[in-house]
Amino acid sequence: MAWMTGGAVNLSNLDLNLVVALRALLEERNVTRAGQRIGLTQPAMSAALARLRRHFDDPLLSRTGSRYSLTPLGAVLRDRAATACEVLERTFTSQATFDPASDTREFTLISSDYGATVLGVPLARALHTEAPGVHLTFQQTSPTLLDNLGTLLSTVDGLLLPHGVIDGFPAVELFSDQWVCLVSDDHPDVGGELTLAQLAELPWAVYQRAYDAPVTRQLSMLGISPNVDVSVPSFHLLPMVVANTRRVALVQKRLVERSPTPGVRVMPSPFPSVPLQEAMWWHPVHAQDAGHAWLRSVIKKVAQGLNDASDADADHPPARVTSSSQWMCEPPLTS
């Protein structure tokens, strides 16, 4: 444990190549394959494993029959090693300047399908025009989103999420949205309007991740505990699991306007729901990065375009429709 000083790692004495070797070994669980992955010979990889075992005072990989399995510590270190490699890569690819016309950088955003639809689509168009060599990747939000959030944000460029779920990180304000209700076009109990009593009685379809926390809180303040009948990992699935059922769902207005689904009615919320304020959250480590600053400016510009379009629509509201093949009130949005 020569790298340890007073319980902490002395980074000046640490060979950072071992972080890369650690990740490869724990993910491949095979010395030969791990060496091939990072360009080391089998003897060199075996030597790296020996050094890592001495450092951690743990075998990391243990033989089970003809295969190797991770020790409990190895399992913990697998994700940490991957995160460390991603942070190191971002650190050493940081640039003092950024030229969108010629740069080939990859930007990664974590988002639900709502954010990817409403903001991601126009953002992709903007990048295609302004930065043809830039690559944009969207990663789906996960149930463990809020676990180790700081570490997660340090490995990506941003997280699209509304206020009320996380706090304590810098954010770029994007756009606001309204909550609307979805019911089946042939719902046997719902006529021209929904009531609070029906929200309390009807079965619900909900988005299963932390994103829905603001909606749940609003309902709980009204004394309503949703009778959840089905949970789905995608906002786009909500209209489909509502159609031809007695279920009700709350979705974002912008989403259903972009992804209308036949057989479903969009109805105003029977209570004054708090508007959703979408933001892009990012880690302070990106503050002075030229490429990231450019990305934030483009995202802000794209979001302003969405807000301007919404203001224009508000000045010219669409006509009310009642056909079963069309949306009632206004076209639906998917979040």
Give strand pairing partners of 207: 232
- Which stretch of DSSP H or E encloses residue 139? strand 135-140
Class of domain 4-92: mainly alpha
Per-residue pLDDT of the chain (335 residues; tens, 9 = 90+): 444 444 556 666 677 788 888 888 998 998 989 988 888 888 988 998 999 999 889 999 988 877 889 999 989 888 888 877 777 776 676 667 789 999 999 999 999 999 999 999 999 999 999 999 999 999 988 777 777 788 888 889 999 999 888 888 999 999 999 999 999 999 999 998 999 999 999 999 988 764 555 567 778 888 888 888 898 989 999 999 999 999 999 999 999 999 888 899 999 999 888 889 999 999 988 888 899 999 999 999 999 999 888 766 655 544 433 323 233 333 333 33
What's the confidence (pLDDT) of residue 151? 80
Q: Say if CB 156 and CB 90 are below 8 A apart.
A: no
Angle between helices 17-28 and 42-56 (to 10 degrees): 100
How is residue 262 annotated by DSSP? T
What's the confidence (pLDDT) of residue 3? 45
What's the confidence (pLDDT) of residue 325? 28
Give strand pairing partners of 177: 276
SS3 call for 32 = helix
How is residue 116 annotated by DSSP? I
Is the pTM above the cut of 0.75?
no
CATH 1.10.10.10 domain locations along the chain: 4-92
Q: What is the longest distance spanned by two Cα atoms in the chain?
A: 75
What's the confidence (pLDDT) of residue 335? 33
Fold of 102-335: D-Maltodextrin-Binding Protein; domain 2 (3.40.190)
What's the confidence (pLDDT) of residue 20? 87
Q: How far apart are CA 305 and CA 308, in angstroms?
A: 5
What's the confidence (pLDDT) of residue 13? 66
CATH 3.40.190.290 domain locations along the chain: 102-335
Q: How far apart are CA 80 and CA 136, in angstroms?
A: 24
What's the confidence (pLDDT) of residue 119? 96
Q: How far apart are CA 298 and CA 109, in angstroms?
A: 14
Q: How far apart are CA 225 and CA 164, in angstroms?
A: 19
Task: Compute the Cα dihedral for 313, 212, 171, 335 and give only its sign.
Answer: negative
What's the confidence (pLDDT) of residue 330? 31
